[in-house]
Structure 1
């Protein structure tokens, strides 16, 4: 076993509009995703998961943790409030710079990290978001996927962050389950292909998840 880690960062919108069924569906989907990844020996060997949530502020819900040690409580949502996605990207940059090991002459660093961002809206702090985008691009992620969930999510803003934007029509359990299943399949592919590929190629998304071209 190489011992090299595949850091996977998931940024979740927990703004007021995610209250109720959407956040319940996210919680169920996340648990299913972690369960699926634990069935995969490659993922179990290399994946380290971090979750950052964002609403009126960004917080590190789960610091970078080996997959088999991840235990998720219920992710909750405030009554109302903004979507500080720019702040979440700033926090992510800080954490990636601190936690992801770079390859040196003496030792192999981590695999290139993967990033999944899920939002049902658009950044309230658009200026901060736009300032963070080139910083994210400079960090050389193996894959960056943004998920625009529901009718109010702004795909064009997410397109500024990444070419890989997926769309969920609805904020219900089957949509989020489809999305997180696809995330787990993508991470599994990442953990097997990380050693050979510069860019992780993602599996085709399921029916509930549309790729925005």
Structure 2
């Protein structure tokens, strides 16, 4: 009897403005998130993680991988680069359609996937972004959470994708670590309550992370 998977997709902004301390802080935060999730027996049993990065193009940095097999190298940022979040959502849709197992007569499929998006700007490909949003909404995500990091991130653009938007005022390792700790807590709750229909309830964010209402 195989355990049902909880697919978790993380979209990370690697545009030029993330160079230096911000991307270093993201790497530290990702490792902290992995460590936290691996200590959670529910998560270890069910969570499969995928990471898509986006700058002038979108890339599948980590294909959907069981949590205990995830090995993360350093996420790097090109010298310059736009913020092609629309392209990242298009790639996400392709991967979700390829990866997610649907329930059949023979077997139960995956739990509803969770999606986390982190950006420090706004989409350079706004038209593609808006086109992709309508498609994302048909894919039955258990929860979509977006993070507007730093002063240039546009919350109102992210609110078009999801009503669950958080902000980070600063882009240092304390802020990103706080965000990724919150992601891991949200995933842990998602993995233990995966059978519950409706949106996954989220834990209260740490002080570095503000919810936008």
TM normalised by structure 2 equals 0.99
Cα distance between partner residues in 2 of 1:203 and 1:174: 18
Q: Any idea what the Cα deviations from partners look like across 1:123-165, whole Å, max 9, x if unmatched?
A: 0000000000010010010000000000000000000000000
RMSD between aligned alpha carbons? 0.8
Q: Any idea what the Cα deviations from partners look like across 1:65-90, whole Å, max 9, x if unmatched?
A: 00000000000001111000000000
Q: Where does residue 181 of structure 2 map in the other structure?
A: 181
Unpaired runs of 5+ residues, structure 2, are none
Cα distance between partner residues in 1 of 2:197 and 2:204: 17
SS in 1 for 2:90: helix
Q: Where does residue 42 of structure 2 map in the other structure?
A: 42
Q: Where does residue 64 of structure 1 map in the other structure?
A: 64
* Comparing 197-206 and 115-124, the one that deviates more: 197-206
Q: Where does residue 142 of structure 1 map in the other structure?
A: 142
TM normalised by structure 1 equals 0.99
Q: Where does residue 6 of structure 1 map in the other structure?
A: 6
Aligned residues: 213
Alignment of 1:93-112 (within 5 A): 93-112=93-112
Unpaired runs of 5+ residues, structure 1, are none
How much has 1:201 moved relative to structure 2? 0.6
Cα distance between partner residues in 2 of 1:64 and 1:206: 27
Cα distance between partner residues in 2 of 1:107 and 1:12: 33
How much has 1:168 moved relative to structure 2? 0.3
Q: Where does residue 152 of structure 1 map in the other structure?
A: 152
Q: Any idea what the Cα deviations from partners look like across 1:77-130, whole Å, max 9, x if unmatched?
A: 011110000000000000000001011222100000000000000000000000
How much has 1:2 moved relative to structure 2? 5.2
> Are positions 1:79 and 2:79 aligned together?
yes
SS in 1 for 2:179: helix
Q: Any idea what the Cα deviations from partners look like across 1:178-198, whole Å, max 9, x if unmatched?
A: 000000000000000011233
> Are positions 1:130 and 2:138 aligned together?
no
